[in-house]
Amino acid sequence: MDETMTETKPTAPFAPFEWMLSARYLRARRKEGFISVIAGFSFLGIMLGVATLIIVMAVMNGFRKELLDKILGLNGHILVQPLESPLTDWKDVADRLSQVGGIRLAAPVVDGQALASSPWNASGVLVRGIRSDDLNNLTSIAKNIKQGSLEGFDDGQGVAIGRRLADQLSLHAGDSITLVAPKGAVTPMGTTPRIKPYKIAAVFEIGMSEYDLGFVFMPLAEAQAYFNRSNDVTSIEVFTTNPDQIVAFRKAVTEAAERPVFLVDWRQRNSTFFNALQVERNVMFLILTMIVLVAALNIVSGLIMLVKDKGSDIAILRTMGASQGSIMRIFLITGASIGVVGTLVGFVVGLLICLNIESIRQFLSWLTSTELFSPELYFLSKLPAEIDVGETTAVVIMALTLSFLATLYPSWRAARLDPVEALRYE
Q: For 284-332, what is each residue's pLDDT tens digit?
A: 888 888 877 887 787 777 777 777 766 677 777 777 767 777 777 877 8
Cα dist from 418 to 38, 261, 292, whole Å: 26, 81, 33
Cβ 71 vs Cβ 270: under 8 Å:
yes
**Predicted TM-score of the model (pTM):** 0.67
Alpha carbons 185 and 423: distance in angstroms, whole number: 103
Exposed, middle or buried, 228 (CB in 10 Å: 0-12/13-18/19+)?
Answer: middle
Per-residue pLDDT of the chain (426 residues; tens, 9 = 90+): 444 444 445 566 666 756 776 666 666 555 555 556 777 777 888 888 889 888 888 888 888 777 777 777 788 888 899 888 888 888 898 999 888 888 888 999 999 999 999 889 989 999 999 998 888 888 888 888 888 888 878 777 789 999 999 999 999 988 999 999 887 666 666 677 888 899 999 999 887 778 888 899 999 988 888 888 878 899 999 998 888 788 888 888 888 888 888 998 888 887 787 788 778 878 888 888 887 788 778 777 777 777 776 667 777 777 776 777 777 787 788 878 888 888 899 999 999 998 888 888 888 888 887 777 666 556 566 777 888 888 888 888 888 888 888 888 888 877 777 666 656 655
Alpha carbons 299 and 4: distance in angstroms, whole number: 47
Alpha carbons 329 and 327: distance in angstroms, whole number: 5
Cβ 216 vs Cβ 116: under 8 Å:
yes
Alpha carbons 148 and 286: distance in angstroms, whole number: 48
Q: For 361-376, what is each residue's pLDDT tens digit?
A: 888 888 887 777 666 5
Taking residue 121's Cβ as centre, other Cβ atoms within 10 Å add up to 13
Residues 6+ apart with CB under 8 A from 123: 115, 116, 117, 165, 168, 169, 213, 214
Q: Mapping DSSP to helix (H, G, I), strand (E, B) and coil, where does residue 189 land? A: coil
Cα dist from 128 to 85, 89, 291, 369, whole Å: 21, 19, 48, 38
Q: Mapping DSSP to helix (H, G, I), strand (E, B) and coil, where does residue 247 land? A: helix
Residues 6+ apart with CB under 8 A from 275: none
To the nearest 10°, the Cα dihedral for 32, 38, 44, 48?
-170
Cβ 169 vs Cβ 194: under 8 Å:
no
